[in-house]
Chains A and B, each alone.
Chain A
Amino acid sequence: MENLDVKKIGEVTVVKMPKSVDSTTAGEVESQLLGIIKSGVHKLVCDFTGNNYVSSAGLRVFMEASNELEERNGKMAVFGLNEVVYEVFDITGFADVFPITDNEKEAIDSL
């Protein structure tokens, strides 16, 4: 899997999620995300506009990332989830773990 697109908007790091975060891609996404966090990022936004599939393996990635940030007193938010992906986050209670917003601006503002 290619490296994830990463951009900096002020002190916020926005990472673009791949098309699918399933059990085959989850490992790679996880190591890249944790790598970014460990490099000293405290405010992380995940961009789901290009994503259309997240399985429980993917959820695990975001929970890991969220926990990692928590330990470092950081925060994360996500945006741009399509209907079905949102449902997955909703069913599993992720909406309570980190903010799920409609667009990039709201996501940055929520941190």
Chain B
Amino acid sequence: MINPLFAITMSSIASALFAYLAFRLFFKQQIQTNNTGLIILDNKLLFAILYGFFTIYAGFVVTPNGATVRLLGPEFVGMLAGWRYGVLTSLFGVVLVCWKQWIHFIPGTDQVGNTFFSSLIVTVLAGYLAGLWYCRLKGKLPKIWQAVVFCLGFELLVHLPVTLLLGWPFATVWQSAKKTMPELIIANTIGMGMMVFVIGNLIREKLATLERQRIAGELSSARVVQQGLMKKKTPDPFTIPNIDIYACLVNEDKISNSFFEYYYCESGRKLYFGIVEIAELTTRATLCMLVMKTLFRTKAKRAAPLQNIVENMRRELATVAGSQKNISAFLGIVDVDTGFISEYVAGNYCARLINEQGDWRELLTVNEGGALLRDGEILVLANKAIPGDDFWVPGDTTRQSGEKMAASLRKTADAGTVLLLIKYQQQAENISLQIDLQEIERLHQWLTDFAQKHQLSGKLLFTLDLVLEELVVNIVKHGFVQAPGENERIDVRMQLVGERILIRVKDQGQAFNPLQHNVDQPRPKRTVGGWGLQLIQKSVQKMEYERLTGSNILSLEINIKGR
């Protein structure tokens, strides 16, 4: 005798096993690529045949009262593959059963059970009705409770009536039905629930795996796209006037939600730069990035204000990603001639200025404010805190400094850390003169070399000679009340910037502001001397004076256009 509980357990296990087997064998890979959960089977015919066997063998695990779960075969196939295959499974099962009967009971046809024919019909109906249900579900896997209710309904409304109707004699059938029906219902509903549970789980698991693979695939292609988007190589030092840039994505092998961008607007002589972080790390970030980078360049080309760029970026992002708030940015503009930075900051950024001696100062980030990038200073910008300065070695190139910082950041920073270094160094030529009129000759030679190098006209050279000679002679003659020290020098720095020559003369003589001397007031005729300042002021387009830490600093500008 078989324990009823054991039989039920066995049929459940058999159902689960078959469900698992069916899934492994017949479920197409593609089914999961559409995540609607639609079921697409690979070889429905084979599926039907396999479940035909189930109908016979797994289904013949019998309870003491003769209940089996063989109907699950056609029901399951019908449910997953449609009524044609459901019926096919039934028929296959029917043929097998008949054949078995034939082998075992020929010629004793009276040995055929009371419910033999009704069973055949019920089996076919099971495949067919489950198939109809399949049509109703439009190919989706039913929920467990739906499957259980279907089974219950089938047993009560089809199996029982048909058996009672077609079985004979009625009294015997009724007696046995009373005993088997509860077991039949329990075994079948549990088996069906088991099957749907197993298949549903397998599908969900597979979907999750595929989703992970898809995301990984998309992320990896997004990474490739991003790497393509990022500038491969920062420009050679000073291809942008006075600017040396180093920028990198700290973890460049990972997908990033941040990017850096810079663009030199030649007409405005301004360097636009920025790092932008998009709040969510999604594959869409790459698209957003592409859109924003394009926008940044277009705007920079037109020398648009920073605020305007950020607003436009936000608007574009809203269109692309459907959200307006998830962007933080540090955008800035450097005037390459003066080193003046204006910046726009939204979000937390680390912005520091480091000079050639390695001293740090924070860049005060006031929206639409500004700061001065001094000669030789590097602006270090990152969307994460920049670690200590122990890696800083004076004399390193911007690239070397940048690479060291990136290596240091890499240890702690997560994906999406962007580092940007902008060194400001005026490409000027310098001469240091002793406080001696004999130096004028050397000054003239230096100016001649400068003029030759930059192909300046003779007239311009004349102007330079005149202006600088006057200034230097003035300093030598009047700058020092006491004899100047051995190490006293006059430092002259000159730089050709576009169509202007910028000159800076620095000395440690007594304070003297040439701008306070009005050269236009009438002077007594035939006075000897005093033309120097007049000549200077008539020759230059701009003159500024500054007294800084004991030095006179005179900045001049000469326009070379058409000269």
Contact = CB atoms under 8 A, between A and B. Distances in A.
A75 B462 CA distance: 29
B437 A92 contact: no
A81 B531 CA distance: 18
A36 interface: no
A64 B528 CA distance: 6
A49 interface: no
Contacts of B470: 55-56
Nearest to B466: A55
B444 interface: yes
A25 to B, nearest CB: 9
Interface stretch (B257-265, B291-299, B532-540): B532-540
Interface string A78-92: 000001110010011
A60 B534 contact: no
Q: Is the interface of B mostly helix, strand, loop or mixed?
A: helix
A67 B459 contact: no
Contact of B438 (A24, A55, A57): A24
Contact of A56 (B437, B463, B527, B529): B529
Interface string A49-67: 0001101110110011011
B337 interface: no
Contacts of B560: none
A88 B535 contact: yes
A20 to B, nearest CB: 8
Nearest to B523: A93
A96 B524 CA distance: 13
Given A22-B469, A97-B526, A84 B462 contact: yes
B469 A23 contact: yes
A24 B473 CA distance: 10
Nearest to A83: B459
Interface residues of B, number: 24
Contacts of B531: 56, 59-60, 92
A57 B526 contact: no
Given A60-B528, A67-B528, A97-B525, A91 B535 contact: yes
A85 B458 CA distance: 11
Contacts of B466: 53, 55-56, 88
Nearest to A85: B462
B441 interface: yes
Contacts of A84: 458-459, 462-463
A61 B352 CA distance: 55
B11 to A, nearest CB: 113
B465 interface: yes
A26 to B, nearest CB: 10
Contacts of A83: 459
A99 B207 CA distance: 101
A24 B526 contact: no
B417 to A, nearest CB: 57
A21 B10 CA distance: 119
Contacts of B526: 63, 66-67, 70, 97
B440 interface: yes
A36 B473 CA distance: 27
B445 to A, nearest CB: 12
Which has the most chain B C-beta neighbours within 10 Å: A20, A63, A64, A97? A63
A53 B473 CA distance: 16
Contact of A57 (B441, B459, B473): B473
Contacts of A23: 437, 440, 469, 473
Contacts of B469: 22-23, 55-57
A24 B535 contact: no
Contacts of A92: 531, 534-535
Contacts of A20: 444
Closest 5 CB pairs of A and B: A56-B532, A84-B462, A56-B531, A92-B531, A91-B538
Given A56-B535, A92-B535, A96-B525, 7 more contacts: A23-B469, A24-B437, A53-B466, A55-B466, A63-B526, A84-B459, A92-B531
Interface of B: 437-438, 440-441, 444, 458-459, 462-463, 465-466, 469-470, 473, 525-529, 531-532, 534-535, 538
8 contacts: A24-B437, A53-B465, A55-B470, A56-B473, A60-B528, A63-B529, A84-B463, A92-B535
